[in-house]
Amino acid sequence: MVLRVLRGMLGLLVLVQASIAYAGLSIEIIGAGEHQIPIAMVPFGGDASLGQSIYEVVVGDLQRSGLFRMVDPAGKLPHELAEVSYPDWQLRGADALAIGSVSKQANGRIEARFRLLDVVKQADLGGQVVSARDGQVRAIGHRIADIIYEKLTGDKGVFSTRIAYVNRQGQHFDLVVADSDGYNEQIVLASNKPIISPAWSPDGSHLAYVSFETGHAVVYVQSLYTNQRKVLADFRGSNSSPAWSPDGKQLAVVLTRDGSSQIYLVRPDGKGIRRITFSGAIDTEPYFSPDGEYLLFTSDRGGSAQIYRLQLKGGLEQRLTFGEGNNYSPRYDPNGKDFVFTHFENGKFQIAVQDFQTGQMQLLTGGGWEKKPSFAPNGKLILFASEARGRGILATVSSDGRVQQHMFTQSGDAREPVWGPHLF
Amino acid sequence: MKKLVIGVVLVNLLAACASEKPKEPEVVAPAPAPVMAAPEPVPAPAPEPVVEVDPLNDPSNILAKRSVYFPFDVSAVQEADKPLIEAHAKYLSEHADRKVRLEGNADERGSNEYNLALGQRRAESVKKMMVLGGAMPGQIETISYGEEKPLCTDHNEACWSQNRRTDIKY
């Protein structure tokens, strides 16, 4: 099973290698989805007059998902429904067509009007107007990509969501929040001491993280709106690995205040601390199930690092990973049916997914230095930390393992990535 | 390098000793006894300068070694490091005012959080041995940097082996 997936991926590596490079960040896409939807997208009328092309953002998003194949408009450039001749697009092999135009409003806002057409059925799938302040043009592109993605795949798009990660340059550490494609980076915390384990609150308003700025690992919770923060846990030894419950009313953290690293629950104000594992071994990396009733975590209680599940009501604990190698960093698929984690075997770290029902593990990557996976909120993409050209980079892989994307930040090592929630 | 320098210093000292011949006793006529009305109070002999070298600062002392190393994914102290830890324990027990901070570290293999926990346990296992050796728990703080403060950043065992350690910091 694992071999088959790996072989499939190797075959795909040579199939498609698209590369999109901008000033600060470069993105490489490797592989192709099994059933790609051929879509033609015509550069929006007026797009060239913008400092940032909306068209490029939408195309980049759709390509990274691995679910679309971009069809060259080859000279046909309609911007209005009346200008569209369906046979032109059927000839080009497109199943869908997106057209539109952008303009700057009197109040300074940028407005994009676009329309999605079903070329096969020759049907109008609907049009929408998306607008934003000048300077947030990329956000317009992500929103349009989300709408196209949802209309054509039936799943909610995640292009408008955000990610968090730590960028390390020598002894300098930045906690960064960026768009899902790595652009629009904002530094949330800059420090000359390590920062690890950022975790999004379910509403996307706060980040919990671990900072060593006082000399040891302390957990903080910081508002992304006000930048105000408070200490969540600062006991002796190490305080680490925060994870929010789905209702946002408590966090799981790992403390060594009673000896070895054990899992505790705490309210977001740092009060009401309650210990919930009692193994005496290493218990760490807790992560809540979507229904909030279970925690996945990493433990070496059986002699090596493996994934376990704890039922919060009743305390039943169950080992989930067996076989060769060690396993770390588990996270639930938003659908609750499987979980993703880091598998370590024969000196290689790879991203793997395991079905709860069958217990089958499937490797999604094959490079050898892939760690810390987290699902996009729609469960279709997985963000992880990787390494290329001697640097730590961010990467994504589609949940079927077929399409990978590498994101190179401007400089330094990107690490500890985590995908944020949908924002409403 | 350090060992070599110490060796050279020792040889010089020995050479100095060998070249110093014992002085021959001189024959001197006894001086006439002073006439004293009353014995003057004899000033107390000046205290000899007490040169107490803190063994912590003695580079030839075992206490100069401040790092304990571990195999991969192991936090138990290795047999070879026990004398070192016991020496630090003895020092702490004899110097109740001294405090020490044990900093656990891990190599980059494993997850960041697992390595943080592993580093903490590496610090704790050294602490445990120090307490058994006579140090007071209150003298010892344990923390972990996990994989975040590597001494060496290459992806190979020669490098990783340096990063799997507990540093003893006074």
In chain A, which stretches have pLDDT less than 70? 1-27, 29, 31-34, 424
Whether residues A140 and A183 share a domain: the answer is no
B13 in a structural domain: no
The pLDDT score that the predictor gives to residue B39 is 55
- Name the pTM for this structure: 0.85
pLDDT the model gives residue A6: 39
Q: Where are the beta strands (DSSP E) in A152-305?
A: 162-169, 172-179, 186-191, 195-200, 206-211, 218-223, 229-233, 239-244, 251-255, 262-266, 274-275, 283-288, 294-299
Q: Is residue A122 part of a domain?
A: yes
Whether A1 is covered by a domain: the verdict is no
Distance CA A287, CA A157 (A): 23
d(CA A172, CA A192) in angstroms, rounded, equals 5
Q: Work out how many domains chain A is built from and give that number.
A: 2
* Domain identity same for A249 and A224: yes
Q: How far is CA A286 from CA A209, A253, A255, in A?
A: 14, 7, 12
Q: What is the CATH number of the domain that holds B82?
A: 3.30.1330.60
SS3 at position A292: coil
- In chain B, count of helices (H) and strands (E)? 4, 4
Write the pLDDT tens digit of every residue in A239-277. 999 999 999 999 999 999 999 999 999 999 999 999 999
Answer whether B149 touches A (CB < 8 Å).
yes
pLDDT the model gives residue B4: 42
With vertex at residue A237, the alpha carbon angle to CA A223 and CA A191, rounded to the nearest 5 degrees, is: 40
User: Are both A92 and A229 inside the same structural domain?
Assistant: no
Question: DSSP 3-state assignment of A215?
Answer: coil
**Which domain CATH number covers A47?**
3.40.50.10070
Which of A153, A184, A205 delimits the end of a domain?
A153
Nearest to A261 among B112, B120, B145 (CB): B120
Contact check, Cβ <8 Å, B145/A194: yes
A17: in domain = no
Q: Are residues A313 and A168 in the same domain?
A: yes
DSSP calls for A120-177: TTTEEEEEEEEEE-TT-HHHHHHHHHHHHHHHHHSSPP-TT-EEEEEEEETTEEEEEE
pLDDT of residue B3: 44
Distance CA A170, CA B127 (A): 30
Q: Is the dihedral of CA A275, A279, A283, A286 positive or negative?
A: negative
Q: Quick one: tokens of A258?
A: 């009673």
Cβ atoms of A79 and A42 within 8 Å: the answer is: yes
Asked whether the predicted pLDDT for residue B5 surpasses 80, the reply is: no
What's the domain count of chain B? 1
Amino acid (1-letter code) at residue A133: R
Residue B7 has pLDDT above 50, yes or no: no
Indicate the average pLDDT of chain B: 82
Query: A88 and A49, same structural domain?
Result: yes
Residue A221 in domain: yes
State which residues form the domain around A185: 162-419
Task: Give the A:B interface size as CB pairs under 8 Å.
Answer: 94
Contacting residues for B11 by C-beta, under 8 A, at least 6 apart: none
Question: Is the pLDDT score of B6 beyond 90?
Answer: no
Of B54 and B62, which is predicted with more confidence?
B62
Query: Last residue of a domain, which of A134, A153, A172?
Result: A153
> Which residue numbers of A have CB closer than 8 Å to B's CBs?
194, 196-197, 210, 212, 215-217, 236-238, 240-241, 254, 256, 259-261, 282, 284-285, 298, 300, 304-305, 326, 328-329, 342, 344, 349, 369, 371-372, 415-416
CB B114 within 8 A of CB B74: no
CATH of the domain at A247: 2.120.10.30
What is the domain extent for residue B109?
70-169
Q: Is residue B112 part of a domain?
A: yes
On whether both A230 and A298 belong to a single domain, the answer is yes
A193 and A308 inside one domain: yes
Residue of A nearest to B116 (CA): A238
Chain A nearest C-alpha distance from B117 (Å) = 6
User: Three-class SS string for B19-55?
Assistant: HCCCCCCCCCCCCCCCCCCCCCCCCCCCCCCCCCCCH
Instruction: Please answer yes or no on whether A284 and B113 come within 8 Å at the CB atom.
Output: yes
Is A173 in the same domain as A113?
no
CB A365 within 8 A of CB A404: yes
Last residue of a domain, one of A153, A170, A199: A153
pLDDT at A93: 94
